[in-house]
A = this chain, B = another copy of it.
Amino acid sequence: LTRPDPAPLRYGAFRTRDAGARVGAAWRDQVLDLAALARRGVLDDVLPDAERILTQPSLNAFMACGPAVWRALHARLRALLDAQEDLPLLAVRDVEPLLPIEIGDFTELYSSREHASNGGRIMRPDGEPLAPNWTHIPVGYHGRSSSVVVSGTDVRRPFGQARDGDVGRPEFRPSRKIDFELELGFVIGVPSERDRPVTHEEALDHVFGVVLLNDWSARDIQAWEARPLGPFLSKAFATSISAWVMPLEDLLHRRVPPADVQDPEPLAYLRGERWAFDIDLQVALRPAGSGEEHVVSETNARYVYWSLEQQIVHLTSGGAMLRTGDLLGSGAISGPSRGSNGSLLELTWNGTEPLQLADGTQRGFLEDGDEVVLRADGLAECRGRVLPARR
């Protein structure tokens, strides 16, 4: 019942050598040019003003139309594909995918208990693994919207302030601890009103779809800069997302009970039906100079403590609002065992226990030239390669 769709239909923006940015739908190894389709007039009854909305460099105008329109267009496209009519289909290899959404606010959550606990054990070895607020509040912070890039974009190793031990002066140098974070990214389609909290029942109607998200992190810079206001530049050099957004609608049948119960019981405003996605997740690493990928982590989206509804309810409970294009990262998703962690920080215990890959390569953190690929059942992959620091 939670099987992935064998031929998902996912949305994005792209351009080709001969024409500018527009909206498309990726399907098998092809891209349906929705702007071209709209020009034929076959979408106007399901998407008023279709040609204008689909001849845009991002999905935002379409996402703002709301769930009834999303569903109607989706059903129409499925019907057209099923009918095997003559459609404006392009080979995926012939299109250049663009960042599919114009990002509003980028919120990073911290919803995996294992990830938060491991982070605490590593970063604050003398304290409790989890801060006292963690089981009460869906902790989050704001990322830098302009750092979000589309899958396939190279990621340059950043400079930053860091120091080797816990004392002494910092240095300004290329980061020595570049990491990935394996996350789901939830894309907001329908804005909420300022100062009008979203209820559990309404929450999912605001969500257009889901991407894989790699929140690249420079752990040495993070350790030094993050006190007391949280991570800043250590997570602002790049965040990669899938080029194609999977409609939430097509993932709803993959909801299952989460991996653990919430104890203590959440405060009343956070109570409601709780579920998680049963989506297998995988991180593959292709080390510099190698043609071969190695799977370094396998986990599942079930390992999140706070549900999507709880997070949206919390986010809007105190005056903050949602806008079209807002991106909510789940935070790194870690399972209960080593090998199911969503970051190298955890997989190598802050670099002290390097990964041993089958070809003999060792990795504590990422090296220049390494490529990281996030994959998940049904979602579009998210990949990026580490470039050397600028000279």
Residue of B nearest to A268 (CB): B172
Residue of B nearest to A267 (CB): B172
Assuming the contacts A136-B161, A267-B172, asked whether A228 and B131 have C-beta atoms less than 8 A apart, the reply is yes
For residue A264, which residues in chain B have a CB less than 8 angstroms away from its CB? 169
Q: A390 on the interface (CB 8 Å rule)?
A: yes
Q: A156 on the interface (CB 8 Å rule)?
A: yes
Q: A320 on the interface (CB 8 Å rule)?
A: yes
Q: Which of B139, B161, B225 contacts A267 (CB 8 A)?
A: B161
Q: A275 on the interface (CB 8 Å rule)?
A: no
Q: A318 on the interface (CB 8 Å rule)?
A: yes
Residues of A contacting B: mostly = loop
> How close is A244's CB to chain B, nearest CB, in angstroms?
22
For residue A238, which residues in chain B have a CB less than 8 angstroms away from its CB? 319
Q: A56 on the interface (CB 8 Å rule)?
A: no
Q: A236 on the interface (CB 8 Å rule)?
A: yes
Q: Mark A114-147, 1 if CB is under 8 A from B, else 0.
A: 0000001001100000011100110111111111
Q: A48 on the interface (CB 8 Å rule)?
A: no
Interface residues of A in 194-239 (CB under 8 A from B): 194-195, 197, 218, 221, 224-234, 236-238
B195 touches A320 (CB 8 A): no
Copies in the complex: 2
Instruction: State A131–B223 Cα separation when bound (angstroms).
Output: 12
Size of interface on A: residues with Cβ below 8 Å to B? 66
A233 touches B105 (CB 8 A): no
Assuming the contacts A136-B161, A319-B233, A319-B236, asked whether A171 and B226 have C-beta atoms less than 8 A apart, the reply is no
Residue of B nearest to A154 (CB): B195
For residue A321, which residues in chain B have a CB less than 8 angstroms away from its CB? 146-147
A142 touches B142 (CB 8 A): yes
Interface residues of A in 305-324 (CB under 8 A from B): 314-315, 317-323
B232 touches A229 (CB 8 A): no
B229 touches A318 (CB 8 A): no
Q: A158 on the interface (CB 8 Å rule)?
A: yes
B136 touches A229 (CB 8 A): no
Instruction: State A321–B268 Cα separation when bound (angstroms).
Output: 41
Which of A104, A120, A123, A318 has the most CB atoms of chain B within a 10 A radius of its CB?
Answer: A318
> How close is A55's CB to chain B, nearest CB, in angstroms?
20
> How close is A169's CB to chain B, nearest CB, in angstroms?
7
B140 touches A232 (CB 8 A): yes
Instruction: State A319–B390 Cα separation when bound (angstroms).
Output: 10
Q: Which of B142, B221, B226, B232 contacts A144 (CB 8 A)?
A: B142
Query: Which A positions have Cβ atoms within 8 angstroms of B?
Result: 104-105, 107-108, 110, 120, 123-124, 131-133, 136-137, 139-147, 156, 158-161, 169-172, 175, 194-195, 197, 218, 221, 224-234, 236-238, 264, 267-269, 314-315, 317-323, 326, 390
19 A-B pairs whose Cβ atoms sit less than 8 Å apart in the complex? A105-B144, A105-B145, A107-B144, A133-B225, A137-B161, A142-B143, A142-B144, A146-B320, A146-B321, A146-B323, A156-B319, A159-B269, A160-B317, A160-B318, A169-B264, A221-B318, A233-B320, A236-B318, A236-B319
